[in-house]
Amino acid sequence: MLLTNLILPGRGTTNPFDVEVSDATSKISSIKPTSTPSTTPPSRVIPTLCHPHIHLDKPFLLTAHNEGEDLPDYLDLAPKDGSFAEALTKTAEAKTRYTRADLLHRGSQLIAESIQAGVTSMRAFVEVDHVTRFICVEAGIELRRRFKEQCYVQLCVFAQDPVINDEKHGTENRELMEEALRRFRSDIDVVGSTPYVEGDEGMQRRNIEWAVEKAMEHGMHLDFHLDYNLDPSSKPMICHVIEVLKQSNWTQRAMGKAVVIGHCSRMTMFSTEETEKLAKEIHDAKLPISFVGLPTSDLFMMGRPGDGDWGGSRPRGTLQVLELIRRFKLNACIGINNVGNAFTPWGSVDPLRLASLGVGVYQAGTPQDAELLFECISALAQEAIGLEDIVVRSLEEGANALFMVVGNDETININGKDTGIPARKRLSVADMVWDPPELSQRRVVGKVNLSR
């Protein structure tokens, strides 16, 4: 396969190249400057994208128009007040209706739309508890196999519900999680939990200790939904996570397995000194911790007005990921989290649109900021979840071919009619982040070639 007239990463935006990919080996066999200049605009090659944090079992609940089909309906569960408490109850009710066909239906839509956007790897959360039992994991495994050449689906078996608090089925949920980890271990990479759903601080601590122990026992990565609040009186659990990882000697014993902290909006209230202290602790202990900012969910959920307050002032909180990376030298990236459910009714699965939102949210307007935001949805996201070699930053002869080509139109069409007006060209990474290209302009070349 010969691809011509391409602007390549790290080689400027003016000189196009031709790239040949071997059909037999799927490797890049040659990269040469384009010999015959083209009159059409060049296409731009960019690295493929990665979801570091996305829920596979609860997308598109609010938009599942399944009338007349043999699939459950969720439209009566549309939010009434849009609150966090309501999201928890509505989603808990939704789970009682999940069927295998339905999970495969919505899950395949999530993965297929992600692939259209250029995603070639993801950490997908599948819930286990006394209601869903193993139905989400089993659907996740089937989807992981179905899409394996186009997208590596790393499954995180996830306790969205308490695993300690027995007033909320803690023991039952915990035992089911442990059984899932044993029974499906060849298809599972990650143990995930949500300490803040437990109730009191003591139970939150025990949730963290249990998850660390299970991840080490099974040799898996670890992922927490943590400190999802803007309450200065709440005790940040990130400190306990660090403590437990140090005490359990994670760095030596977990053999390079990664730890991801999602949300963590409470950390936005840390002073400079507190953030420096936290970063130093992580660095000193060489803990492989990464933070994942989830701005579409955080903006929607955080900063709610109190009783009697009309809500004119709504201070939001979402991890300021670019500062975490640049100033505090922490590993960080951004993720979609939820789409089309009561936790996040809005948005799409497109990571480029998320990066674009980051320009405004993080007040990051330079081309270098745009490039770092792009890294946060590609290579840095992949590193955070402990993968390598799927997202590649640059094209090299002899390397496995897996990259995205973004096309450029010559002229602007309106309702199928050519206006003759020259179309804007997207040639730099900043062009992609500031105003993401339509999905129809994107194409992933190559296959995911990861043996596991």
| Chain contacts with Zn ion (rule: CB under 5 A) | 337
Give the three-state DSSP class for 159.
strand
Pick between residue 294 and residue 444 the one whose CB is nearest to Zn ion.
294
The answer to whether 307 and 264 are in contact (CB under 8 A) is no
User: Whole-number minimum distance, CB 32 to Zn ion, in Å?
Assistant: 44
User: Whole-number minimum distance, CB 55 to Zn ion, in Å?
Assistant: 6
User: Whole-number minimum distance, CB 54 to Zn ion, in Å?
Assistant: 8
User: Whole-number minimum distance, CB 346 to Zn ion, in Å?
Assistant: 15
Pick between residue 43 and residue 338 the one whose CB is nearest to Zn ion.
338
User: Whole-number minimum distance, CB 174 to Zn ion, in Å?
Assistant: 20
Name the helix (H) or strand (E) containing 430.
Answer: helix 429-434
Pick between residue 89 and residue 419 the one whose CB is nearest to Zn ion.
89
Q: How far is CA 151 from the centre of its chain?
A: 13
Query: What is the Cα–Cα distance from 180 to 430, expressed in whole angstroms?
Result: 43
Pick between residue 382 and residue 400 the one whose CB is nearest to Zn ion.
382
Pick between residue 165 and residue 337 the one whose CB is nearest to Zn ion.
337
The contacts of residue 389 (CB under 8 Å, 6+ apart) are: 400, 450
Pick between residue 143 and residue 406 the one whose CB is nearest to Zn ion.
143
The answer to whether 320 and 314 are in contact (CB under 8 A) is no
Pick between residue 53 and residue 442 the one whose CB is nearest to Zn ion.
53
The answer to whether 248 and 257 are in contact (CB under 8 A) is no
DSSP for 32-58 reads EE-SS--SSPPEEEE--EEEEEEESSS
Position with the least CB separation from Zn ion: 337
The contacts of residue 332 (CB under 8 Å, 6+ apart) are: 290, 291, 292, 293, 319, 321, 324, 325, 376, 380, 384
User: Whole-number minimum distance, CB 158 to Zn ion, in Å?
Assistant: 8
Give the three-state DSSP class for 437.
coil
For 134, phi then psi, to 5°, come to: -110, 10
User: Whole-number minimum distance, CB 139 to Zn ion, in Å?
Assistant: 18
Check residue 368 and report its DSSP letter. H
